[in-house]
Amino acid sequence: MVQRARDARAGTKRAAARKDQPLAAVAAADPAQRLLAVEAERDRLKARLDEAEARITELEQSRTLVVNRIDWLIDTLGTELEKRA
């Protein structure tokens, strides 16, 4: 049962990756056309990976700024509480 679910998920991902060109068209094409199709898919995936990596970098920087701000706020509040005690 687990294997069947895994196969179903994997098939969905593969089908989504090939949505631009049907499987039959790629299989029937000559090797040069298949190579071009695979290279085009590789280029699309590389572009998406680059975008995702850039977004991850932005999110990490944003997280660092938020954590630093929270640390500063905690230190400030701690200092104020010590002054009042």
Question: What pLDDT shows up at residue 20?
Answer: 57
Question: What pLDDT shows up at residue 16?
Answer: 56
Where residue 33 falls among pLDDT bands split at 50, 70, 90?
A: very high
Q: Mind giving me the DSSP string for 5-59?
A: HHHHHHHHHHHHHTTTS-HHHHHHS-HHHHHHHHHHHHHHHHHHHHHHHHHHHHH
Angle at 68 between CA 62 and CA 70, to 5 degrees: 105
Of residues 17 and 80, more confidence is placed in 80
pLDDT over 70 percentage in the chain: 66
